[in-house]
Amino acid sequence: MKKTILALLIIIICTTYSFTQERTEQLSEVFISATNYKYLDKVDSKEVAVPVELLERKVATFNLQNADFYQDDYDLYYVSFYIPEGKILAAYDKQGNVIRTAERFKDIELPTQVIKAVEKRFPNWVITQDVYVVNYHEKKGAKKSYKLKLKNGEKVIRVKMNENGIFL
């Protein structure tokens, strides 16, 4: 009986320790990304493609002061981030805060609102290409747009719309 209680007690202690260690790792990640929360707040969309979200989080959590090229002499740093689906050019101040970005992604998953708006206004047309563009500025906020190429037989048109499905 004592051995059973002792064994259960050891299992509970080990389980509790592993959960606290895992929780500490999660909190440190949240702390790092909180430095550029304004950037993430402005560029975050309800339905953004996974590659876009992952690269934007990489921009927000990038530690400029640990980079090989960092020198305290400069006030502004430009850093490029690339993935096969797109790229982000980010400007950081010397403290590592995101000042502005230019983002461009090709052929990503489109939000439902954009797809529905195209289907409603252009029935029988097919989206053949799409480009998602984000321009962020710390004082002006973020401007997001989708540039779409639509095809219906031999006819081809290009349209531009925002993330809410409103044509521009």
52's tokens: 């876009």
Name which residue leads in pLDDT, 149 or 22.
Answer: 149
How far apart, in whole angstroms, are the C-alpha atoms of residue 91 and residue 87? Answer: 13
Coil vs helix vs strand at 94: coil
C-alpha distances in Å from residue 122, one per residue of 54, 80, 94, 97: 31, 36, 48, 42
Q: What does the pLDDT look like over 104-157, one tens digit per residue? A: 999 999 998 999 999 999 998 999 999 999 999 988 988 999 999 999 989 999
Task: Of 29-43, 49-63, 132-146, give the range with the top mean pLDDT.
Answer: 132-146
Amino acid identity at 85: E
List, in order, residues 6 or more apart from 65 with CB less than 8 Å away.
Answer: 96
How far apart, in whole angstroms, are the C-alpha atoms of residue 142 and residue 132? Answer: 13
25 band by pLDDT with thresholds 50, 70 and 90: very low
Cα 148 to chain center, whole Å? 20
Cα 25 to chain center, whole Å? 21
- Give the containing element (helix H, strand E) for 33: helix 2-33
For the chain, what are the domain ranges?
A: 36-161
| CB-CB contact of 43 with 136 (8 Å) | yes
List, in order, residues 6 or more apart from 164 with CB less than 8 Å away.
Answer: 113
User: For helices 2-33 and 50-61, what crossing angle results, to 10°?
Assistant: 80
Query: Which segments of 19-140 are extended strands (E)?
Result: 76-83, 86-93, 98-106, 126-137
Q: What does the pLDDT look like over 59-99, one tens digit per residue? A: 888 887 777 777 777 888 899 999 999 999 999 888 888 99
